[in-house]
Structure 1
């Protein structure tokens, strides 16, 4: 029995979201869906997520789970929107608790009596499985990019989020709070220990040298050809390379909007007394 993987590319954020289908019973899961968000105007919409819902309807699929690989810093998750439309439960790795702790002071959440991560319906632990139709997925903790990074293994497919890119794109940055290049090396080593034919599905492809979009490689290809983690590179070399490279990277433009939504399963901030919702931008005052 083989599942079918359907990729959906969100051009505005360069994100690839997946609908994975159990062909036998016509059940499905969604991984890393995206809300449309215009930073300049503050407009939030759901054209992308609606296309995925239409795909489910058109193909007569039963959605069983809505999954995020981590609390993304470059797009707003559509998890809560999809949940409101389908009543299907949302899932993320239990490391989301650590990520919330890292940003509690940044967003002034330290005094809150409830945790943002409680907005998720399920926090998946290492090795835990979820069924959909006659298929199942298994959580694989892959921290390093973030503390909550979790990959999902479905048959001979692994959905790695931002942990790995295509071989010519390398690996994810590790300079966010809780990021750790040494941990990322260890996580990728675990992925590379899977059978060589296993298919790796990435969440972003930055199309080096302008090549065509690609979002699937294999464990064997990644193991031998990834420009950051391959047989010619050891852990110490990788950590030095990753840390040096990360110092040159700009802060993602959607970092603060994304985290304020994604730490709570895609739930938008509550309306204030005037009925409007607001995103906070922490300021660093260097004027004195």
Structure 2
């Protein structure tokens, strides 16, 4: 049975979000939903998440799960907003889910940002073991562990489709950075080989697409290509690429690229499963922003 797949592109962070539904029961999952964050004005809005809710409403779906591939460092998760909105509309509780290694990343960033332990407890309703199965109506989903980009990174296989998050990108983009805490280029290489061992017609749905800036190569964002297309044309992984070459290139590249623009805001929200910090001021959430300063200016 083929699932119904609704890809939704969020252009500010170049993120793909997905609504994936069972054609028989109308049960669905939402994968990697995005909260809109205006970094110039420090304002969070919900247009992108509301567009996903509009699909659910118009198609008369009921949401079985809200699925995160990992703790994202480049956008804020809308999982909690969607869960709360559905609950307010009288729909059953839709659990927020991730892989079990999400706790590793939570612990790292809880220490970095002084996040109270109680704000992390139960932030995710279900943590999947590697290759654990779950039901989406008459469909079977498989929670895959796909580390390398981050220590907690995973994906979801539904039918002949794999939602790969930020492990592999479309062929002209290549692969994900590995310089976040717990990331590792050799580990990512092994993850990529696992993905490329799927049958050639398997569709790999990506977490981002960054269309070329070169006008001659311009194209619309792509949500997926097949395993065969990746093996033949991915600029980092074409047949004949070696692990040694990949690791050397990936490490050199990651050493010079800048961190995501909203990484501090994203990590503080996303380790909480999309919830805002408990601290607030004048009706606004308080997020920490780390700044490198001379040691002589530090007072504590």
Give the TM-score normalised by the residue count of structure 2: 0.92
> For 2:241, which of 219, 230, 233 is the aligned residue?
233
> For 1:97, which of 77, 91, 103 is the aligned residue?
103
Post-superposition CA distance 1:10-69 (Å, at most 9, x none):
111110100011111111100000011111222111111111111111111111100110
> For 1:218, which of 206, 222, 226 is the aligned residue?
226
CA deviation after TM superposition for structure 1 residue 158, in Å: 0.1
Report what 1:137 is aligned to: 141
Cα 1:273/1:201, change in 2 over 3 Å: closer
Structure 2: unaligned runs, 5 residues or longer: 87-92
1:168 maps to 2:172: yes
- For residues 102 and 226 of structure 1, what CA distance do their matches in structure 2 show? 32
Report what 1:5 is aligned to: 5
Verify the 8 A CA contact 1:117 1:265 in the aligned structure 2.
Answer: no
Cα 1:159/1:56, change in 2 over 3 Å: same
Q: Aligned-residue CA RMSD in angstroms?
A: 1.4
Matches within 5 A, 1:6-21: 6-21=6-21
Report what 1:74 is aligned to: 74
CA deviation after TM superposition for structure 1 residue 205, in Å: 0.7
- For residues 174 and 261 of structure 1, what CA distance do their matches in structure 2 show? 21
Q: How many residues align?
A: 286
Verify the 8 A CA contact 1:100 1:117 in the aligned structure 2.
Answer: no
CA deviation after TM superposition for structure 1 residue 95, in Å: 1.3
CA deviation after TM superposition for structure 1 residue 247, in Å: 1.5
* SS, match of residue 264 in structure 1: coil
* SS, match of residue 29 in structure 2: strand
* SS, match of residue 104 in structure 1: helix
- For residues 120 and 151 of structure 1, what CA distance do their matches in structure 2 show? 16
Matches within 5 A, 1:186-265: 186-208=190-212, 209=214, 210-265=218-273
Post-superposition CA distance 1:115-135 (Å, at most 9, x none):
626310011110101101101
Verify the 8 A CA contact 1:130 1:138 in the aligned structure 2.
Answer: yes
| Runs (4+) off by over 4 Å | none
Report what 2:89 is aligned to: none
- For residues 226 and 29 of structure 2, what CA distance do their matches in structure 1 show? 21
CA deviation after TM superposition for structure 1 residue 101, in Å: 2.4
